[in-house]
Amino acid sequence: MTQKSEYHNLDNPSDGLFRELAPGLTTHIFAGEHAMLSVVSIAPGAEGTMHHHPEEQWGVLLEGTAIRFQGGEEIHVKKGDFWRTPGNVPHTMRAGPQGARVLDIFAPPRPEYKKPGSGFGSP
């Protein structure tokens, strides 16, 4: 593996592992051995499915506005806001009228995005 393969660009749609999470929600995933980064694009007014997972998650709102639903609370977030979601806490997000772009970091990487054998890829 070369070091060049360790460099990525958030705006390159062909970089990372692309997934549609729900109608109006897509992500590009970049996974390493100990952490995983996910760049989520949310269409205006779109909302994810309430879910939880054992991995700790940190998020930062890169663009737009949204409502973060976490642990039974609704928290309005704007560009630059960031949060931590402990493992197994139910959460989701609804984008504001201009949509939203979120950078999520997971530790450890979520196993459903691991490829059997070496490296990461399609489940």
Q: What is the CATH number of the domain that holds 47?
A: 2.60.120.10
The confidence score (pLDDT) of residue 30 equals 92
In a domain, 43, yes or no: yes
In a domain, 120, yes or no: no
- DSSP E strands, 1-123: 17-22, 25-31, 36-42, 56-70, 73-78, 82-85, 91-107
In a domain, 62, yes or no: yes
CA distance 70 to 21: 18
The confidence score (pLDDT) of residue 114 equals 61
In a domain, 121, yes or no: no
Amino acid identity of residue 71, one-letter, is G
The confidence score (pLDDT) of residue 10 equals 85
Q: What is the pTM of this model?
A: 0.86
Runs of H (alpha helix) within the chain: none
Tens-binned pLDDT, residue by residue, of the chain (123 aa): 688 888 988 888 888 899 998 999 999 999 988 999 999 999 999 999 999 999 999 999 999 999 999 999 999 999 999 999 999 999 999 999 999 999 999 999 998 876 443 244 433
Q: How far is CA 93 from each of CA 45, 88, 113, rounded to the nearest angstrom?
A: 10, 16, 21
The confidence score (pLDDT) of residue 1 equals 66
Range of the domain at 22: 3-110
User: Domain total for the chain?
Assistant: 1
CA distance 115 to 123: 5
In a domain, 117, yes or no: no
List phi, psi (to 5°) of 2: -90, 160
In a domain, 99, yes or no: yes
In a domain, 115, yes or no: no
107 closest CA partner among 42, 38, 34:
34
Tokens of 50: 């309430």
